[in-house]
Amino acid sequence: MNKSKILFFGWVTLLLMPLPAYFALHYFKGANLYTFFQVANFKTIPVLYGLEFGIVYAFLALLLLQAPVFKTIPLPIDKLVKDLNLNYVDAIFLSLCAGIGEELLFRSGIQTFLGVWITSFLFVAVHGYFSLKKIKMSLYGLVVLPFILVISYGFEHFGLWFSISAHFAYDLVLFFVLIQSED
Q: Show Cβ contacts of residue 140 under 8 Å, excluding neighbours closer than 6 positions.
A: 65, 70, 73, 75, 129
Q: Are the C-beta atoms of 79 and 175 separated by less than 8 Å?
A: no
The pTM is what?
0.94
What is the residue extent of each domain of the chain?
3-182
Q: What is the pLDDT of residue 121?
A: 97
Q: Are the C-beta atoms of 124 and 68 separated by less than 8 Å?
A: no
More confident position, 132 or 25: 25
* φ, ψ of residue 149 in degrees (nearest 5): -60, -40
Provide the pLDDT confidence category of residue 26 given band limits of 50, 70 and 90: very high
Helix (H) or strand (E) holding 54: helix 44-64
Q: What is the pLDDT of residue 84?
A: 78
| CA–CA dist 178, 183 (Å, integer) | 9
| CA–CA dist 52, 50 (Å, integer) | 5
Provide the pLDDT confidence category of residue 14 given band limits of 50, 70 and 90: very high
Least confident of 19-28, 42-51, 126-135, 160-169: 126-135
Q: What is the pLDDT of residue 79?
A: 67
Q: What is the pLDDT of residue 98?
A: 97
Q: Show Cβ contacts of residue 135 under 8 Å, excluding neighbours closer than 6 positions.
A: none
